[in-house]
Amino acid sequence: MAVLWQNEIRSASTLKGNIFTVPWKVCRDAAKGTDISPREAELWACENGICPSRYERSIGTIGLEGQARLLSSHVAVIGCGGLGGWIVEILARAGVGKLAVVDGDMFGDNNLNRQALCTEENIGLSKAVAAGERALALNGAVEVDVWDQFMTGDNANAILEGCDVVMDALDSNRARSVLVSACRELDIPLIHGAIGGFWGQSCVIMPDDRAPWEMTGGSDKGIEETTGNPPFTPVFIASIQAAEAIRLITGIGEPLRDLLWCDLKEHEYLKIRI
């Protein structure tokens, strides 16, 4: 026999096109006063053929099963600046069930040109805290762990434990090396992204793959030290990274294990076999 909160969701659903849809707020209200979370209420709906209305425009692409997988997933975003802020924005809207947002840095004036989370009012405040607040403002069903600290070899395992996918939104190869080592130890796919000027790159690094910076060596920082980063490059590469996370979690297509290199000035795009 269905319990009361399940009956509330089922009775409020209506057939829209070829799927049953329920207002997302019904799921939220149904969870109140029970021992289930809003995320669990939305997950139950998806698993029982009912789409919470907030995901209605995603279902044609990923299906109810894919949405259920997203709601069941746990993703860590390491770095909440240029790339990370946009990644948090997309994954929260997509309905990734649990996010760990990690950054020990604070916003500065020069973040205003490109970082989704940076405003004139929060200069000097924590990037990780802003990421957590933004995720919850976008989607109250998302469960967020805020790590207001930099990832190190000492805390990496605690941060990443239980994650299905990890997002590399870092700005140095030294920090990335710590991250990729932890992902290998915990057997977690890592989605890499890097930007500089008009250029950006992204790929999926499976636990048994070599990372691009391990192949080339080179300096800790890249061309961004000279070019800086305009507003559009982080959005572009973060979208690719988020798409790869969603594809991995939902099982749609093959992971992008070749390095995708993008030149937004000349609109040249290359896949480079690592």
Q: What confidence tens digit (pLDDT) does each residue in 16-60 have?
A: 999 999 999 999 999 998 999 999 999 999 999 999 999 999 999
pLDDT of residue 213: 86
How many Å apart are CA 25 and CA 42, to the nearest integer? 10
Q: What is the pLDDT of residue 215?
A: 72
Three-state SS sequence of 158-181: HHHCCCCEEEECCCCHHHHHHHHH
Instruction: Tell me the pTM.
Output: 0.95
Residue of 253, 58, 46, 247 whose CA lies nearest to 165:
247
Strands 98-102 and 143-147, sheet pairing: parallel
How many CB atoms neighbour CB 49 within 10 A?
11
pLDDT of residue 197: 96
Q: Give dist(CA 104, CA 67) in Å, integer.
A: 31
Q: Give residue-wise pLDDT tens across range 83-112.
A: 999 999 999 999 999 999 999 999 999 999
Quote the pLDDT of residue 221: 65
